Chains A and B, each alone.
Chain A
Amino acid sequence: SQQGEEDPQALSIQEGENATMNCSYKTSINNLQWYRQNSGRGLVHLILIRSNEREKHSGRLRVTLDTSKKSSSLLITASRAADTASYFCATDGYGNKLVFGAGTILRVKS
């Protein structure tokens, strides 16, 4: 069963604005990842943050992790129309599995 929950379920913003998505999980983790999925396609890995890290940056992406609250956030700055996609967080489960959150559908309007 999925342990991650994400909010919002859907987010619509104007190009140039920042987009923030949140993820909560239930059990202890070694790391948390964020993936992106364009409509009808596979997932693309964006960033991995380890449990002993609090913040990580990659280009226009900023990820935070609060293990005390069992939550993470993904911030996309200066969004572009091409950022339109679904975004999923995933935590490491047992047996090398990933447990995915429900996802946030992001729409960036140009």
Chain B
Amino acid sequence: GAVVSQHPSRVICKSGTSVKIECRSLDFQATTMFWYRQFPKQSLMLMATSNEGSKATYEQGVEKDKFLINHASLTLSTLTVTSAHPEDSSFYICSARLGRLDIQYFGAGTRLSVL
């Protein structure tokens, strides 16, 4: 099946620093990737849709200058949390859509803790 790799799995950083999370589709090309945020015991909240070669589409209420998304190739999308603060601590998950199917393949997630 399709494999999506997300790195790092866990990161702890100081307040004010920036953190980059990578999402790679290992065995397929993904023109569209998605970034989600998940709070403990809650569902996934879509943050943005990442399209290869174009600007990401952000959901309402998500600060695009805070959460920078780059989709430079068909197999890699990155999410950079800029000037992270404790309230940015969360579980971030990426996914990639394969072809015309609506099925999304998810990375293992990144646990971000901002001190």
The CA-CA distance from A92 to B104 in the complex, in Å, is 11
Partner of B111, one of A40, A44, A98: A40
* Residue A12 at the chain B interface, CB threshold 8 Å: no
Query: A98 touching B109 by the CB < 8 A rule?
Result: no
Instruction: State the majority secondary structure of interface residues on B.
Output: strand
How far, in angstroms, from A102 to B105 measured CA to CA in the complex? 19
Interface string of A67-110 (1 = CB under 8 A from B): 00000000000000000000010001001111011110100000
Interface centre among B104, B107, B108 (most CB of A within 10 A): B104
Chain A interfacial positions (CB closer than 8 Å to B): 2, 30-31, 33, 35, 40-45, 48, 88, 92, 95-98, 100-103, 105
Closest 9 CB pairs of A and B: A42-B106, A43-B106, A42-B108, A100-B43, A100-B44, A92-B102, A42-B109, A102-B43, A42-B107
